[in-house]
Amino acid sequence: MDWSKAKSIMIAILLVCDLILGGIWLKERVDENRDIAAANAAAVSYAENHGVSVNCDIPSASKRVYVLSLSFDEGEGSGKTEYRNIPIEVLGSGAGEHLSEIKKKGSKIEVLPAYSAVLKSVSNRGFSIDSIELIYLVDRSAYSGQGGQDTALPYWKIRAGSNYYYYAAYSD
């Protein structure tokens, strides 16, 4: 048997298989994006039918993110305010306390689509959604000391006028 010819045929067969698999993968991504766009449009329509106007684009990218373990130190300091281009917001942080360290906690979790936050906001009739962004949120208002550790989870932050609403972007 001519091994050089056999290798060439095998490479050609593998290239054709790669092209077929690449085409299938690309079609699935296009279909997924089309489904998310349709769900976003349906959520906007539903919200507007229930007295909530949406004056911004709804993020359509699906992503997986880490839950974060945050360390806080006493004293002044700017600290880090984002992780992988996602802002970190700390509610109720005490004076003289700053974010000093960010660590991944466990494996990645699936972020709920942004339209889920739009649907949850329908209970607030009569307001206008001006922006939606994915953030990490940690609530330290129940923590009485300074320093220590806390957990940051992904949330959808909706701005409606001068008010902000936070909706969990993860499943329990």
Domain boundaries, the chain: 1-172
User: Along the chain (172 residues), what's the average pLDDT of each consecutive run of 10 residues?
Assistant: 88 93 88 82 89 88 86 68 87 71 88 90 83 90 72 92 91 76
* pLDDT of amino acid 9: 92
Closest CA to 93 of 67, 75, 113: 75
* pLDDT of amino acid 13: 94
Alpha-carbon distance of 39 to 54, in angstroms, equals 14
- Global pTM value: 0.77
* pLDDT of amino acid 31: 78
Contact 128, 52 (CB under 8 A): yes
Handedness of CA 39, 125, 169, 102 (dihedral sign): positive
* pLDDT of amino acid 146: 65
* pLDDT of amino acid 75: 67
* pLDDT of amino acid 158: 93
| 1-172: CATH topology | Lipocalin (2.40.128)
* pLDDT of amino acid 125: 73
Beta bridge partners, 152, equal 68
